[in-house]
Amino acid sequence: MIVNNETIAHLAKDNQRLDGRSLIEYRQPIKIETNISWTAEGSAKVQIGETVIMAGVKLSLEKPYNDTPDQGGIMINAELLPLSSPDYESGPPGIKAIELARVTDRGIREAKAIDMKKLCVTPGEKAWFVIVDIVTINDAGNLFDAASLAVLSALKAAKFPVVDPETGAINYKKKTEESLPLLKEPLAVTVYKINGSLLIDPTSEEEKSYDARLTVASDDNGTISAMQKGGDSPLSIDEVEKICDIALEKAKFLRKELNAALK
Amino acid sequence: MVYTKRLDGRKIDELRPMEAKAGVIPNADGSAMFKAGKTTAYAAVYGPREMYPRFLQNPKIGVLRCHYGMMPFSGSGERIRPGNSRRAQEIAMVMTKALNNVVDLSAFPNAVVDVYVDLPQTDAGTRCAAISAASMALADAGIPMKDMISSVAVGQVDGTVVADLCYDEEAYDAIVSDVPVAMTHNSREITLLQMDGEISKDDLIKSLRMADSVLDKVYDLQKSALKERFSMDKGAEK
Amino acid sequence: MSNILIKEKAIVIPGETLAEGMDYLPGDNTYREGEKIFAKLLGLVGISGRVIRITPLAGPYIPKVGDKIIGEVIGMTMNGFRFNTATAYSAMLNVKDASSRFIRNEEMSSLLSIGDSAVVKITKVTSQNLIDLTMKEPGLHKVTGGRIVKINSQKVPRIIGKQGSMINLIKNKTGCNITVGQNGYVWIKGTPDNERIVGEAIKLIEEKSHQEGLTEKMDVFLSSKIKTAPAKVEEKQ
């Protein structure tokens, strides 16, 4: 509704929001639960405010790619389930789901978060391939951040399944104690620009009235591993710098929440 | 060899531990989660709302449309490729027929009531959990229904009639029969009935009577989950 | 002998047995089969004399002639404006019912544009639930400023209260202008903090609509919130 869009823009100029939060405050509650699916090798359910997302890790043994015969691989997929919002329909992923998947994927892949060489079993023949599926349960805004948190949580909680040493067959019903070789823990934070002000964790309504957004994935060292700009309006270099500062600080906050939940 | 002791130690008519909750998806008009053993189903209702494609509209009465999906990581083996498999389409169809018996959409001509069910983990009894969740979600959405629908899978394993088969029982190395059943609560009429495997007529009737007696437990759980939404002390929890 | 099986204000689910015997009569949202009366949806039991009815706790808005609602313009045709009314049905505001002035086709967007919200009234509902609207009466207008929140339309009577007691309490305590649409949209206009408090109050009423003593609870809630409203929200991080 235009009336809400205009009010959101007016309030933003005064550093205010419809729900009274500060511009750099995440909604509450933030809940992270792992191993919510016994069939996944690793899984997590993340809640930020009313947004709820699940991520599940599945592992398989495949022939490595020709150009990287001593490495495994990772792929991240996303589905915006119609059950999570009246705006989504059944069918193949649209551009919103594709962007969510690819941006989250790059955040993990380009950070070299997983030691691909350690996923190799027999060079040129067999290596572990990791597929993470992101699934929305309730979309109340800010899928990027919630998805990134869910994927990292699921990867951290994942355990390799037992492989029969003679036949090489995977016994998906038995898990080993071995975790994935994670080298880094990148997290994405998306900062939105509304009427000149920068804010994080938008509600669905705020998402409908923004000028520009920038997703920044960073790891625990403060190294940026992925970025994606969205929205119809441009950003100045100063704004990009401010956004990076916010994203790095908020990633630290999310990482603290994650570690507290995984204890 | 007769299957006297169940693989997970349950009695022959004992259901797996169940959990039910209503109103779990705020965006939906009605929603519910239903869990039986390690099978979990989430259901969300959107509607009545405008129906697309238009040619499916019914000018006399609203249309109920169910959708069923398993999340890619919900299968007990390899990853499931996303997409509407034929199995999912058939389950959606029998679910719609099962629920259509009780919903009354006469006040909503040309509209559709969409029910989406997705499962994050499965261990047999998936369509049963889906229907039990969907029935709760429809009630939660305030859709007029003359009764609730509750569902469980019964059948026989190596000569013994049992209720609520788990995956290992379905896959048991002997003659097995898996019979998903859904029934109304008041008139005890069957609105979903399928069968896989081999079973004698007597055992079939015996298993249906077992379903009739155990479904009360499913119904009681659905009822208390719906009423719990409005319990007096709920407001404090936010 | 007739038997009533539930109490007034009990919460029942579809198919629950309400009464046995022919002395009781099936009211709204119930049905009789044989000698028993059953609930037809999730709701609260209400007993008036011999009539048992269910007040829904959820469910779609059923458009009625005379209802004041808030809708959003989603399209323009040669003759007027198409509205989204939070129903499954198409609603039209003919341009001649939009203003007492004569408006030419080219001037239509000066009145309302796509995305605008307006307080309108239902003048006609066809058998296929197509809706005709008017914006010509006093109290009907385009919405500018403030914010619109959405609640379930079944809770609207609780938001308004007996003879407006609830809505007036909220208006007086917060100083906001509030227009409640029968379809569940509520327009709130005041200071940003007070608008937010009204929004929270309305959501709270929606959640607890089945409870007693709601007006007193709201009074307490609003008093506590208004006290702390001017202070800035503390930064938790």
Contact across the interface for C59 and B142, Cβ inside 8 Å: yes
| pLDDT tens across the length of chain C (237 residues) | 688 889 999 999 999 999 999 999 999 999 999 999 999 999 999 999 999 999 999 999 999 999 999 999 999 998 899 999 999 998 999 999 998 888 887 888 889 999 999 999 999 999 889 999 999 999 999 999 999 999 999 999 999 999 999 999 999 999 999 999 999 999 999 999 999 999 999 999 999 988 888 999 999 999 998 876 544 344 444
Inter-residue contact A134 to A151 (CB < 8 Å):
yes
Q: Which domain holds residue B199?
A: 18-222
Alpha-carbon distance of B160 to B155, in angstroms, equals 8
The pLDDT tens digits for B60-84 are: 999 999 999 999 999 999 999 999 9
Residue with the bigger pLDDT between B205 and B2: it is B205
Work out the burial of residue C61: count CB atoms within 10 Å of its CB; fewer than 13 is exposed, 13-18 middle, 19 or more buried: buried
Region(s) of chain C under CATH 2.40.50.140: 68-142
What mean pLDDT comes out for the span B201-221?
97
Examine residue B93 and state whether it is found in any structural domain, yes or no: yes
The tokens of A32 are what? 């992270």
Inter-residue contact A22 to A222 (CB < 8 Å):
no
Candidate from A7, A14, A22 with C-beta closest to C147: A7
| Torsion angle defined by CA atoms of residues B135, B136, B139 and B143, in that order, rounded to the nearest 10 degrees | -40
Contacts of A81 in chain B (CB under 8 A): 69, 116, 118
Kindly report the average pLDDT of chain B as a whole number.
Answer: 94
Q: Identify the CATH number of the domain defined by range C3-56.
A: 2.40.50.100
How near does any CA of chain C get to the CA of A26, in Å? 9
Residues near A213 by beta carbon (within 8 Å), at least 6 away in sequence? A190, A191, A192, A193, A229, A230, A231
Contact across the interface for A172 and B78, Cβ inside 8 Å: yes
How confident is the model at residue C110, as a pLDDT?
87
Q: How many CB atoms lie within 10 A of CB A169?
A: 10
Contacts of B44 in chain A (CB under 8 A): 82-84
Contact across the interface for A21 and C233, Cβ inside 8 Å: yes
User: What's the total number of domains in chain A?
Assistant: 1
ipTM attached to this prediction: 0.94
CATH number of the structural domain spanning residue A173: 3.30.230.70
Examine residue B198 and state whether it is found in any structural domain, yes or no: yes
A15 to chain C, any CB pair closer than 8 A? The answer is no
Q: Coil, strand, or helix at residue C171?
A: helix
A163 to chain C, any CB pair closer than 8 A? The answer is no
Examine residue B171 and state whether it is found in any structural domain, yes or no: yes
Contacts of C193 in chain A (CB under 8 A): 20
Q: Which chains touch B (3+ CB pairs under 8 A)?
A: A, C
Inter-residue contact C27 to C37 (CB < 8 Å):
no
For residue B216, report the phi and psi dihedrals to the nearest 5 degrees. -55, -35
For C209, which residue in chain B has the nearest alpha carbon?
B230
Examine residue B4 and state whether it is found in any structural domain, yes or no: no
Nearest CA to B140 out of B51, B25, B221, B220 is that of B25
The tokens of B98 are what? 């099962």
What mean pLDDT comes out for the span B218-232?
92
Q: Which domain holds residue A58?
A: 2-262
Inter-residue contact A143 to A149 (CB < 8 Å):
no
Any idea which fold C68-142 has?
Answer: OB fold (Dihydrolipoamide Acetyltransferase, E2P) (2.40.50)
Name the one residue in this structure whose structure tokens are 């509600």.
Answer: A203
How near does any CA of chain A get to the CA of B65, in Å? 12
For C85, which residue in chain B has the nearest alpha carbon?
B49
Examine residue B60 and state whether it is found in any structural domain, yes or no: yes
Contacts of C115 in chain A (CB under 8 A): 1-2, 5
Inter-residue contact C51 to C36 (CB < 8 Å):
no
User: What's the total number of domains in chain B?
Assistant: 1
Examine residue B234 and state whether it is found in any structural domain, yes or no: no
pLDDT reading at A36 higher than 50? yes
For B69, which residue in chain A has the nearest alpha carbon?
A81
Examine residue B7 and state whether it is found in any structural domain, yes or no: no
Length of chain C counted residue by residue: 237
For A249, which residue in chain C has the nearest alpha carbon?
C237
The tokens of C209 are what? 């609509």
How near does any CA of chain C get to the CA of B226, in Å? 7
pLDDT grade for A3, boundaries at 50, 70 and 90: confident
Taking one residue from A and the other from B, the number of pairs with CB-CB distance under 8 angstroms is 99
CATH architecture of C147-228: 2-Layer Sandwich (3.30)
Nearest CA to B107 out of C60, A105, A207 is that of C60
How near does any CA of chain B get to the CA of A121, in Å? 19
The pLDDT tens digits for C82-141 are: 999 999 998 999 999 998 888 887 888 889 999 999 999 999 999 889 999 999 999 999
The pLDDT tens digits for B104-137 are: 999 999 999 999 999 999 999 999 999 999 999 9
Candidate from B48, B144, B234 with C-beta closest to C41: B144
Examine residue B235 and state whether it is found in any structural domain, yes or no: no
The helix or strand, by DSSP H or E, that contains position C119, with its residue range, turns out to be: strand C117-125
CATH number of the structural domain spanning residue B189: 3.30.230.70
How confident is the model at residue C237, as a pLDDT?
43
How near does any CA of chain A get to the CA of B50, in Å? 11
How confident is the model at residue C181, as a pLDDT?
97
pTM: 0.95
Nearest CA to B219 out of B163, B135, B161 is that of B135
User: What is C75-89 written as a DSSP string?
Assistant: EE-SSEEEEE-SSSS
Q: Coil, strand, or helix at residue A136?
A: strand
The pLDDT tens digits for B142-182 are: 999 999 999 999 999 999 999 999 999 999 999 999 999 99
How confident is the model at residue B233, as a pLDDT?
55
Q: Coil, strand, or helix at residue B145?
A: strand
How confident is the model at residue C183, as a pLDDT?
96
